Structure 1
């Protein structure tokens, strides 16, 4: 909760053989979203069942101004999978989202005041298959 306003982050994903599509939406009171930006970082964590290791790849750092209310990131698997380790299709991985809710003081060039930060994650199994529309 920030300034009496409840904020919620919704992350949903879809994927095919070549891409991961992550869609992030931050919901809150629209009047309190003025001069608010949300830098956020996506991490893919691949769980290797044999070695019990975790691979973290930071995809990119995005900054969204909430005159728009969401952020969409389409990522190629080849950009996020560690090339030194083979990606096993049946493995599970975690999509982790960390974001910082920041208030802009005055003009856009002014420094941010960090209001809060949150982290959420979801486990995704690549055993799930996409339904194709007919």
Structure 2
């Protein structure tokens, strides 16, 4: 196992740029309790900044350090300047250790790393970075001179005075402002909610239950026609869940295509999602990629193999028989 200990960061920190404070474009924050107990590197989920996907990790060998990865397309030339701050946070903030780096990354060289110190020095009592078996590292980064990548700002669903908004989805007590027409075109569920026979014509606030705000915003950023946000490994399952709940065929199709192309989601997990959301194209794609006994063994050795339905298992064995 990999140590995946990551918490969403606090609001972006600022730095001085030409005498003006500028918020960080992206922030990763790691809690290292599992890394300290297991010895494994700690990985972040994927986030999207300036329309570009990013990941980060904190790693150890003889040295202790952190790396930032840009996951943008590597087949088309692009480049950007990057300012990075990696910080080991001390309980006494005056003793924080900050390492700064400025670099240029390009389509064929997409990561940057910083080194803090020797690992044995980091874990020593003398430094005092570890408290109750835990420690915190934060990676902040600022992007400039973006070349070869079209950047689109994310839509703002918190703006009540935007003339395009004529309704609010109330999720976990927070209002998310939307266009009824945009959602109704995408979803028969929203169409009925807004314009159905029993809908109140003057109603503008609509309660949405059993879902969290982050998931709803992720869905809106995908289905709005002016948005360019990408589906990620971390968001795809929730998007399928919402696509199914609100009957958004476009969202389900986008998620299915993402899963077909994804090399990071396991085949067993893909098969489970194909079952749950009736993704025939995804199921067919996985079966066609199984070529020998080794491929089947990898699926059968998965800890979630037992969750597959009998019908899917029968299809797997039929495929194995066909290629034997």
TM-score (structure 1 length as normaliser): 0.52
Q: Which runs of 4 or more aligned residues in structure 1 lie more than 4 Å from their structure 2 counterparts after TM superposition?
A: 30-33
State the superposition RMSD in angstroms.
3.5
2:87 corresponding residue in structure 1: 43
Native 8 Å contact 2:129 2:135 kept in 1: no
**Which one has a bigger Cα radius of gyration?**
2
Deviation sequence 1:12-60 (CA, Å, 0-9, x none) = 12225x521312102224477624222211111023xxxxx33322112
> Aligned pair count?
94
Q: Which runs of 5+ in 2 are unaligned?
A: 1-48, 154-324
Native 8 Å contact 1:9 1:26 kept in 2: yes
Within a 5 Å distance, the mapping from 1:13-32 to structure 2 comes to: 13-16=58-61, 19-30=63-74
Note if 1:94 corresponds to 2:136.
Answer: yes
Hey, which of these two has a bigger chunk of helix by percent? 2
CA distance in 1, matches of 2:54, 2:73: 13
CA distance in 2, matches of 1:39, 1:27: 17
CA distance in 2, matches of 1:101, 1:89: 29
CA distance in 2, matches of 1:46, 1:89: 5
Hey, which of these two has a bigger chunk of strand by percent? 1
TM-score (structure 2 length as normaliser): 0.24
Q: Which has the higher contact order (CA 8 A, sep 6+)?
A: 1
Q: Which runs of 5+ in 1 are unaligned?
A: 48-52, 106-114, 117-134
CA distance in 1, matches of 2:146, 2:70: 17
Please give the secondary structure, in 2, of the residue aligned with 1:86.
Answer: coil
Please give the secondary structure, in 2, of the residue aligned with 1:28.
Answer: coil
